[in-house]
């Protein structure tokens, strides 16, 4: 078996990404004439009213919130980030986030009035609350073992608990899942511990509730997603704030995220405090690449004040989904681009951007910014398909934004198409990821909580 260091020296993903870099030079991506393109016809209305797909594609619902799991607990609600890993005998192991706080109790793993909590080893939960009868943190992860040949879920269980608002995260090259808390709740009141950390979840085929140990070196703030740079083992981290930063953690020992390390923030070379958001003016052109450096953050437990202590750091409009490709790290800024609305804090709301950070972290490119086109509305989670297509989940919940949610694909030549539409409700798509053999696209509809397995004639 290769060591973690050997794995880190290899490409972090087998997903083909050759040729997609040509798209970076396209300044007219938003000028494509129609949303259904690149060989995909219009979506067909689902008679079951759940998921509209192109002809020839189909889906299965493989997990639902509220189902009873093999550990006797309930599948929690608020499905979010997710990744797929190879399992035994051709099975696929999914590790899935649940973006839950503490209410309502009935939607959590422990059932109505936390009646099932007594069956759990509380020492393995991160936080059980400050008061036995007070709010109980209901976030965490579940693990799902799916048999593609039989088309059925074999088992699922709670694999991390006692956390809050586990939003996105990311798989590691050594086969674990990083789950991120999107909150800065502090100890006191209903909570016994500070929140806003990243946790590492082992991938197993048999039920295990992982002892929840925060990776404190990765900082405490509004975490969103994480990905490991295959060149140097650094962990890139996004921050879901309208004036957020892009961070990286450089561990002293590659592959060991509990080891000491340095937390840093991205700075655009020669332009401290660079505003990448393009809300009023196109300060950063689509396809433009700029050199970047990183500054150390001496105190990593600053909560929501973290970004205010780094005045030279570049500002991003809600950094969210993050994924490793062969030639860089791709991440979404959900409200970047020309502002079409403002939120209640007065921040701009654009239709979203996709960025590429070069491996090694020395350069940053603005990849996509659709602006006026009716193509992409607020990209959130992101992945790359085996044929090199970029797959984006919409979370278009902002004012003046179309509230119909789609999964949008982008070809290596820059053409885009709508791969799926949420026909059930206006909830966001999340957790898009492909099975290890590339035959199945798994995705979540966050509310009421569904995990879907999509198959079909994927383009070669």
Profile the chain (460 residues) by mean pLDDT over runs of 10 residues.
34 30 33 46 94 96 98 98 98 98 86 92 96 89 98 98 97 97 94 97 98 98 96 96 97 93 98 97 95 95 93 97 92 94 86 95 94 84 92 76 83 83 96 97 97 90
Distance CA 173, CA 189 (A): 38
What pLDDT, on a 0 to 100 scale, did the predictor assign at position 5? Answer: 34
Distance CA 411, CA 391 (A): 9
What pLDDT, on a 0 to 100 scale, did the predictor assign at position 224? Answer: 97
What pLDDT, on a 0 to 100 scale, did the predictor assign at position 18? Answer: 31
Structure tokens at 37: 């393109």
What pLDDT, on a 0 to 100 scale, did the predictor assign at position 306? Answer: 93
Helix count and strand count (H, E) for the chain: 1, 27
CB atoms within 10 A of CB 339: 20
What pLDDT, on a 0 to 100 scale, did the predictor assign at position 397? Answer: 62
Distance CA 267, CA 247 (A): 10
CB atoms within 10 A of CB 423: 18
């Amino acid at each position: 078996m290769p060591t973690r260091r050997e794995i880190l020296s290899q490409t972090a993903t087998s997903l083909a990404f050759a040729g997609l870099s040509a798209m970076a030079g396209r300044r007219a991506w938003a000028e494509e004439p129609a949303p259904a393109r690149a060989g995909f016809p219009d979506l067909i209305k689902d008679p079951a009213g759940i998921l509209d797909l192109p002809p020839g594609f189909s889906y299965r619902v493989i997990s639902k919130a509220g189902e009873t799991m093999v550990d006797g607990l309930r599948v929690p609600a608020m499905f979010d980030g997710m990744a797929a890993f190879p399992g035994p005998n051709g099975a696929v192991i999914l590790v899935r986030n649940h973006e839950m706080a503490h209410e309502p109790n009935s939607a959590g793993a422990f059932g109505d009035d936390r009646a099932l909590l007594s069956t759990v080893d509380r020492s393995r939960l991160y936080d059980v609350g400050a008061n036995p009868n007070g709010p109980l943190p209901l976030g965490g992860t579940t693990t799902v073992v799916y048999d593609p040949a039989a088309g059925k879920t074999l088992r699922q269980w709670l694999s991390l608990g006692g956390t809050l608002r586990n939003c996105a995260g990311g798989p590691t090259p050594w086969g674990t899942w990083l789950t991120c808390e999107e909150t800065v709740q502090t100890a006191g009141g209903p909570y016994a511990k500070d929140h806003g950390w990243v946790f590492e979840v082992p991938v197993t085929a048999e039920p295990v509730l992982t002892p929840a140990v925060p990776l404190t070196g990765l900082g405490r703030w509004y975490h969103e997603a994480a990905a490991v740079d295959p060149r140097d083992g650094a962990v890139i981290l996004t921050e879901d704030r309208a004036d957020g930063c892009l961070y990286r953690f450089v561990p002293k020992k590659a592959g060991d995220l509990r080891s000491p390390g340095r937390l840093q923030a991205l700075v655009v070379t020669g332009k401290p405090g660079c505003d990448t958001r393009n809300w009023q003016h196109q300060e950063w052109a689509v396809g433009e690449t700029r050199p970047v450096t990183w500054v150390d953050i001496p105190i990593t437990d600053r909560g929501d004040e973290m970004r205010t202590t780094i005045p030279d750091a570049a500002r991003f409009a809600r950094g969210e989904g993050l994924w490793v490709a062969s030639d860089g790290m791709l991440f979404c800024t959900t409200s970047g681009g020309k502002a079409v609305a403002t939120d209640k804090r007065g921040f701009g709301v654009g239709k979203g951007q996709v960025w590429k950070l070069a491996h090694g972290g020395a350069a940053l490119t603005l990849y996509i910014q659709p602006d006026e086109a009716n193509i992409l509305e607020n990209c959130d989670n992101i992945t790359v398909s085996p044929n090199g297509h970029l797959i984006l989940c919409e979370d278009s919940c902002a004012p003046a934004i179309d509230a119909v949610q789609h999964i949008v694909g982008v070809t290596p030549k820059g053409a885009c198409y709508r791969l799926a539409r949420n026909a059930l409700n206006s909830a966001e798509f999340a957790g898009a990821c492909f099975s290890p053999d590339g035959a199945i696209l798994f995705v979540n509809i966050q509310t009421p909580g569904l995990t879907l397995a999509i198959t079909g004639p994927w383009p070669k």
